[in-house]
Structure 1
Amino acid sequence: MTHHSFSRRGFLAAGAGSVLAATMGARPALAATDVALQLSWLPSVQFGGSYIAQSRGYWRDLGLNVALNPGGPNAPVEPPVVAGSALMGISAADYTAAAVAQGAPFRIIAVAMQKNPFAIASLPAKPVNVPKDLEGKKIGMALANTPVLKALCSLNDVDFDAIEIVPTQYDAAPLLAGQVDCLLCWETDLPVAMIIRGLKPITMLMADYGYAVQSQTYIATDDSIANRRADLIALLRGEIHGWNDYLADPAAAAALTVKMFPDAGLDLKTQELQAARQVPLMFSPVTEAHGFGWFTDDSIAANIKTLALLGQDVSPDLWDRSLLEEIHAS
């Protein structure tokens, strides 16, 4: 379950465009191919790199006309991808594993978030700095996330029975009211809401303690990988250029998001904070060495281990790095 089950300077525009043009070389004017990228939630800077790619024409220059289809509580990612109405979708390893177990022909072809964004948020008066601090605490969370908490405890020798789970909505209010000692949430949303209110929350990123479930993953079907490979590569290539621009100026990505979706009720300051907090989740020494979206054999093994604790038996065949290898080699 993602956080959205209830609620997520080097490159200037001209410079990035020049790099992209140099990467692609001269291209004749051709009719653009219509494709759709299925996003996993409603508009926010969580998808800032995609908005940049669209607004700066990166996909257009690669011969694609890309529709960015928003997700939401009534718009799951997997059905349009498996049906072919979206060429690629943004999901998470646990969702994809569950779909594959039911017969869906998916592969994870790139990984946007190098670290899972699940975190334990607390306040300085009663901090949770390490998993062991959870013992004796009341944690506010959705009951559906109980396997997530159990997995964290198993990975860190924490007594799960010493933690009191208090079912809550996805809101910081129970923590602020003292009804719970901490919250299970995403690093980029409820802590940001508390900061906006002038508080100084403490967040313990679960990925730093072994919880390795890839989030914001790019998925495609076996059929698309085999028969629409060129379009998939172009779609990923534009996405990569957009996220590289995002890294260069997260604040500009936040401003663009607010501008593109004036009716979405987005607050610029909140989007700026979210954009900044996303950077260490999405960019790492791995992406610096290999490129945006990369995943390693070690990260696959870590995911398989964590997914097993969630009751999902997954094989390395779920991942296909061949498209990224082709893109980053060029």
Structure 2
Amino acid sequence: MPVRFFVCRRGPGGGMGFAAQMARILRSDRVRLAVAAALVLAAGLGLGGCSRGTEAERAEKDSSRGGLTPVRLQLDWYPQPEHGGFFQALARGYYEQAGLDVELLSGGPRSMVLQKVALGQVTFGLWRSDDVTVAVSRGLPLVCVGAAFQKDPQALMYHAEHPVRGFADLEGRTVMAGAASVWVRLVEKKYGIQVHLTPVTFSIAQFMQDPLLVQQCLVTSEPFQARQAGAEVGTLLVAETGHNPYHAIIANRDWVAANRAVAEAFVRASLRGWRDYLEGDPSAAFAEIARRNPQHNDASMRFSREMIIRESLATGEPGEGGLGHVDRERLSAQAKILEQFGLLERPVSGAELVAEGFPLAAEE
């Protein structure tokens, strides 16, 4: 019996957090057209020069604020606890101490992070490394300078009375998930499951009504909502399929080459914020996140942070490089998977996906 997959989407401020972004269709016409549009615009403007010029003009215009260098980070979604390290660095003054005037820009379903970074409209962006690899294969000059998450928080949520002990158990089950996500293709190939995709726009309401339904989620988000609504749930991390992209901090390749000191200062201050957020008092970040996204309360944010720590999402497992790390060999292996699925326009190596001189080690 084929597995039936449904698309789950959230509106602005939805509790799904990163999940709505992680469910994008890598090969969809919409993504292809968006990337193509960016490439056309880049060709007309001269991408490398545009990037440096845009940031230089902004720096000159905004230099009146105490000599601080302006930096703009485009988030991948609305402010969430999953962005906590960046908000901690902002609220605790770590960016300012590093000589930076950092603006954290709210994301959303039309945030266009890859294109904005490639065109120099923002200094840095936060996005999945598999999508970055696809974009680089299509000509966008993007590089990783670090990572917010070492492990993908995407998971499958199921009702405890009908557990999913492994991906082979999806056979015959109805699954609400992102259509044509890379992990879906991996499951199909590895377990011989024929997936029937049907797009819908439900939240956890359908999950709460159907005890047999399995739903794609963030391990840091939807399980809390379901338990608050009275359901006993379990989760299975999608990373266990073998596809485990970073949530990378990205920049324009030419800009980093010309502004290495600024890039290094931003990454170091961000890693300082992440370490403080995970090991210290997160209340400064929580207050700023709640101010910008009132949907979040203290309980939901504490749950998200607890899961980030428990699942080693930001730090990775021992021996994997630690906070902020991006490994070129791991990126090369991920690129090979994408190439096998025909998602790349050309082969991409991990060496070209990471800026020279990066990643930086998180300071103790």
After TM superposition, the score normalised by the length of structure 2 is 0.74
State the match for 1:160 in structure 2.
Answer: 193
Structure 2: distance between partners of 1:327 and 1:120: 32
1:146-202 Cα deviation digits (max 9, x unpaired)? x43121333xx31222x5555332512222221852112222222221122232211
1:260–1:31: structure 2 CA closer, same or farther, 3 Å change rule? same
- Residue of structure 2 aligned with 1:88, choices 103, 117, 124: 124
Structure 2: distance between partners of 1:80 and 1:321: 18
State the match for 1:129 in structure 2.
Answer: 165
State the match for 1:255 in structure 2.
Answer: 286
1:257–1:99: structure 2 CA closer, same or farther, 3 Å change rule? same
Identity %: 25
Structure 2: distance between partners of 1:204 and 1:309: 25
Q: Could you say what secondary structure the match of 1:213 adopts?
A: coil
Task: Indicate conservation of the 8 Å contact 2:316/2:322, yes or no.
Answer: no
State the match for 2:349 in structure 1.
Answer: 315
- Residue of structure 2 aligned with 1:221, choices 239, 247, 252: 252
Map 1:228-307 to 2 at 5 A: 228-249=259-280, 252=283, 255-261=286-292, 264-279=294-309, 280-286=312-318, 290-307=321-338
Structure 1: distance between partners of 2:281 and 2:186: 32
Task: Indicate conservation of the 8 Å contact 1:49/1:253, yes or no.
Answer: no
Structure 2: distance between partners of 1:210 and 1:119: 13
1:57-94 Cα deviation digits (max 9, x unpaired)? 11111111111111111222122212223111111112
Task: Indicate conservation of the 8 Å contact 2:146/2:358, yes or no.
Answer: yes
Deviation of the 1:207 alpha carbon: 0.8
Query: Is the counterpart of residue 204 in structure 1 residue 236 in structure 2?
Result: yes
State the match for 1:185 in structure 2.
Answer: 217
Task: Indicate conservation of the 8 Å contact 2:150/2:323, yes or no.
Answer: no
Deviation of the 1:30 alpha carbon: 6.6
Deviates most, 194-203 or 41-50: 194-203
Deviation of the 1:42 alpha carbon: 0.7
Query: Is the counterpart of residue 58 in structure 1 residue 94 in structure 2?
Result: yes
Q: Could you say what secondary structure the match of 2:308 adopts?
A: helix
Q: Could you say what secondary structure the match of 2:207 adopts?
A: helix
Q: Could you say what secondary structure the match of 1:143 adopts?
A: coil
Task: Indicate conservation of the 8 Å contact 2:85/2:273, yes or no.
Answer: yes
Task: Indicate conservation of the 8 Å contact 1:141/1:169, yes or no.
Answer: no
Q: Could you say what secondary structure the match of 2:112 adopts?
A: coil
Q: Could you say what secondary structure the match of 1:112 adopts?
A: strand
Q: Could you say what secondary structure the match of 2:342 adopts?
A: coil
1:329–1:172: structure 2 CA closer, same or farther, 3 Å change rule? closer
Task: Indicate conservation of the 8 Å contact 2:326/2:359, yes or no.
Answer: no
Task: Please report the RMSD computed on the Cα atoms of aligned residues, expressed in angstroms.
Answer: 2.8
Higher helix share: 1
How many residues align? The count is 302
Structure 1: distance between partners of 2:97 and 2:289: 24
Task: Indicate conservation of the 8 Å contact 2:21/2:77, yes or no.
Answer: no
- Residue of structure 1 aligned with 2:146, choices 84, 92, 110: 110
1:85-138 Cα deviation digits (max 9, x unpaired)? 311111111221232233210012212211112211111121112111111211
Q: Point out where structure 1 has 5 or more consecutive residues left out of the alignment.
A: 8-28
1:325–1:148: structure 2 CA closer, same or farther, 3 Å change rule? closer
Task: Indicate conservation of the 8 Å contact 1:151/1:310, yes or no.
Answer: no
Q: Point out where structure 2 has 5 or more consecutive residues left out of the alignment.
A: 1-6, 8-17, 24-64
Task: Indicate conservation of the 8 Å contact 2:253/2:355, yes or no.
Answer: no
After TM superposition, the score normalised by the length of structure 1 is 0.81
Structure 2: distance between partners of 1:124 and 1:309: 35
1:122–1:250: structure 2 CA closer, same or farther, 3 Å change rule? farther
Query: Is the counterpart of residue 176 in structure 1 residue 192 in structure 2?
Result: no
State the match for 2:184 in structure 1.
Answer: 149
1:251-284 Cα deviation digits (max 9, x unpaired)? 53663344542x6322221121112112221112
Task: Indicate conservation of the 8 Å contact 2:183/2:238, yes or no.
Answer: no
1:209–1:99: structure 2 CA closer, same or farther, 3 Å change rule? closer
Structure 2: distance between partners of 1:98 and 1:304: 8
Structure 2: distance between partners of 1:253 and 1:311: 44
Task: Indicate conservation of the 8 Å contact 1:91/1:219, yes or no.
Answer: yes
Deviates most, 217-226 or 271-280: 271-280
Q: Could you say what secondary structure the match of 1:160 adopts?
A: coil
